[in-house]
Amino acid sequence: MLVKGRSQKRSDDMADDIQKSKLDALKKTARPCFQCGICTSSCPVFRVAPELNPRVSVDSIITKGEVPREGNEWLCAYCLMCDQRCPMGVSLAEILMEIKNISAREGKAPPDVIESAESLMADGCLSPISSRSDKKRTELGLPDLPKADPADVQKLFKATGAFEVLEINKAAQQEEAAE
């Protein structure tokens, strides 16, 4: 079942339905996995950050029927090595992504991700164009880089529902701070 608590505020039934159908789809994708461990032994992130174990993430979906709580999936670098090598054709990177999506909707995105999202919304980009590179471009006779327009990004945030997810997470963060 979905987590109650933080997401209780969202008494929106439809959203719950979406979450549930997403989780169901996720379970279905995960089912062929027979836990051989090729994904994990191929994962470059696992070597440096053993918290991220794609096999264990999939296992918790199969056996517990729920999205793992620890938030380790946010470490995934989306290199697709696990997808490439999975002998059962399970799309692990997609599963990890979907876990992130579901937990983000529950307000469980990690603070650094929320921070980046906020700055993306405010500035329209994650890394601002440095004056040094501007200078370099002028020297080389290259045209100016287009300026990011935060309004455009906000439109996208609204259209894709990312805005809503961000709000949920911010609210959850505040709640946590209050506790």
Chain residues that interact with other proteins, rule: CB under 8 A: 34-42, 46-47, 50, 53, 55-56, 85, 87-89
For residue 37, the minimal CB distance to other proteins (Å) is: 4
> What does 24-82 look like in DSSP terms, one character per residue?
HHHHHHHTT-----HHHHH-HHHHH-TT--HHHHHHHHHHT-S--SS-GGGG-----HH
101 closest CA partner among 174, 175, 161, 61: 161
CB-nearer residue toward other proteins: 65 or 87: 87
Query: What is the nearest approach in angstroms of other proteins to the Cβ of residue 21?
Result: 18
* Residue nearer to other proteins on the CB measure, 38 or 168: 38
Closer residue to other proteins (CB): 36 or 77: 36
CB closer to other proteins out of 87 and 128: 87
Minimum distance, C-beta of residue 52 to other proteins, in the bound complex (Å): 11
Cβ atoms 147, 120 nearer than 8 A? no
Q: Measured from the CB of residue 60, what is the shortest distance to other proteins in angstroms?
A: 12
Termini Cα distance of the chain: 24
Report whether 96 contacts 56 (CB < 8 A): no
